[in-house]
Amino acid sequence: MAGIYPETELMKVKVWGVRGSIPTPGESTIKYGGNTPCLHIEVPTGAGAEPGATIVFDAGTGIRPLGDSLLKQYSNGQPMSIYLFLTHLHWDHIQGLPFFSPMYRAQTRLRLYGSDQKNIEEMLLHQLHPDHFPVSLEDDDIKAEFEFNPLKGPVKIGPITIRHHYVNHVPAGTVVGFRADSKEGSLVYIPDNEPYGFESKLGCAADPRRRDDERGLIEFVRNADVMFFDTMFTEDDYQQYKGWGHSPVEYALEVAVEAGVKSLGLFHYAPTRKDEEIDRFVEYYAPKARERGVEVFASREGMVLDIGRKDS
């Protein structure tokens, strides 16, 4: 099972933002963090990857401290090659990008991947526009080399292969989840997804799209070592928020069990969700999940996971 370790030569993942919708700094979110979504995969060196290769999922406000950390790691003009995969362009998944310090560095090559090339480029041009932010994407102050890439198929970065899968969120047909595979293990990242016709923890096929949707989702995440999955709601409060594009914890657990996922990370917490509530989630759901073969943990900023490590 995947675990949390300080050092490893395996695919190392660090969590930089876990919150949904809007950043929530304050006393009630100190333990798990208030930054919006961002995950970072450190690409193992000496395995075919270019120097300074880094994989990032989403550019929520968590990407700001990630950028500062990368500048310290790659100091003195060392080249940096960043592969940024955006699940979609909702504000909480891109709002940290203007504050990503490697963009203002000439030795940075930034490759952005998303579900539609034109839309990504146009949206980011609007975001980094003088009406919204003092620095334009076309200003000389932004020294990084930008490259916009539509998601067409697997992307191989050294020993890691990134694949994508379209999920049920709005706008329809534009939102994806990602999976990273190496010979050591696999990571799935699906921060925004709503089930079709979910009525109970056992599921309900009220919407005819559910069967095909779940079949594809299950196969995409099958046997993953770690899965970060949208758990914005509980089954009870989900009844108030149907159509908002997010999942209850119970659904995430059902997906993990059905697909043989080893470890499920609760993720994309509602902005009103306090630390003590998340503590109670783990206390309540972890034993139930363990009985069904899945380990449940609460994702938090600063968490480091070594994907695929085999415990002795």
What is the predicted pLDDT for the residue at 293? 97
**pTM confidence score:** 0.91
189 token code pair: 């990242």
Sign of the Cα pseudo-torsion (182, 9, 14, 102, in order): negative
For Cα atoms 282, 283, 286, give the angle at the middle one, nearest 5 degrees: 60
Residue type, 171: P
What is the predicted pLDDT for the residue at 46? 59
Calculate mean pLDDT across residues 249-275: 96
Query: In the predicted model, is pLDDT for residue 196 greater than 90?
Result: no
Q: What is the 3-state secondary structure (H, E, C) of 49-81?
A: CCCCEEEEECCCCCHHHHHHHHHHHCCCCCCEE
pLDDT in tens, 139-192: 788 999 999 999 999 999 999 999 999 999 988 888 999 999 998 899 999 999
CATH of 11-307, one of 3.30.2290.10, 3.60.15.10, 3.40.1190.20, 2.40.40.20: 3.60.15.10
| Rounded alpha-carbon distances, angstroms, from residue 187 to 63, 85, 145, 201 | 19, 14, 28, 24
